[in-house]
Chains A and B, each alone.
Chain A
Amino acid sequence: MSAYPGQEGLRNPLKVARGDGASGTGVHHWWLQRVTAIALVPLSIWFLFLVGGLMHATYPVVLTSIAQPVHAIFLIVLSVCIFWHGALGLQVVIEDYVHTRWLELTLQILLRFGALLGALACVMAVLSVWLTGTGYY
């Protein structure tokens, strides 16, 4: 008979719960979500202007724009932040709606692989254009 997880025997449930939070990782997720959100406020406004300025731009103009050091660095930080923030958000969506354990676990693992892959691909693409892009002229 155990009403709470970890209540077997003489162990006090508070001993299990303390410092562990509802998700098992305390407030770490909450903070990361806020910190990436704060970073994305100026970055996404800047990105809107960048994309708006590049509408109908030719390929060499796009490369020159990405290869500007300030643009390249902001694009790298933006890429990391959107995939990080997006993964944190999707993680909660999966936790909320997927209740079949094996499927939930599979989706959570795929999400982490996908987010890491997406962020890495973006960073490598920007670096590649930044470091070799001027050669197109």
Chain B
Amino acid sequence: MPNTRPLSPHLGIYRWRVNMWQSTLHRLTGLYLCFGALIVAWGLIAAATSGGAWNIFAAFCASVIGQILLFLWTWSLLYHLCNGIQHLLRDAGTGFGPPRRDREFAPSYWSAGWIVIVLSVVLTVAVWVLLILRVAGGAA
């Protein structure tokens, strides 16, 4: 029997602040990383199968779609990593700043959220600049 009881107001009644973006992005990047896990499995199985199978996998990674997916995957991994570390620290009860009488989080709580998002983008760009420099430098 479907539940016909009224629901309490949910996302719509809250002002969007950085922790809501963090939470949403964490879930979205998590979903995308699950897809990435399948790509990792493909790569490992291809390596175990034959040179031909590996070349198909490598060609996919080198294609335009593959490169876009890999770039998004890099950011997803780094965002999920940075936000995950912050999540673990907050699980441990740290990072909320000094307690305030109005039960509002300290300003450092909010700025730390923005730092995580910006840091993940900066790290992603850094990783790809290093990769491109390495390939251009003849390491391939």
Contacts and interface: CB of A to CB of B under 8 A. Distances in A.
Interface of A: 34, 37-38, 40-41, 44-45, 48, 52, 55-57, 59, 62-63, 66, 75, 79, 82-83, 86, 89-90, 93, 118, 121-122, 124-126, 128-129
Determine the main DSSP class of B at the interface with A.
helix
B88 A34 contact: yes
B135 to A, nearest CB: 6
Interface residues of B, number: 31
B95 interface: no
A34 B91 contact: yes
Contacts of B37: 82-83, 86, 118
A62 B40 contact: no
A93 B81 contact: no
A59 B51 contact: yes
Given A44-B81, A122-B40, A122-B44, A93 B135 contact: no
The 6 closest A-B pairs by CB, nearest first: A56-B140, A125-B48, A125-B44, A128-B48, A86-B34, A59-B51
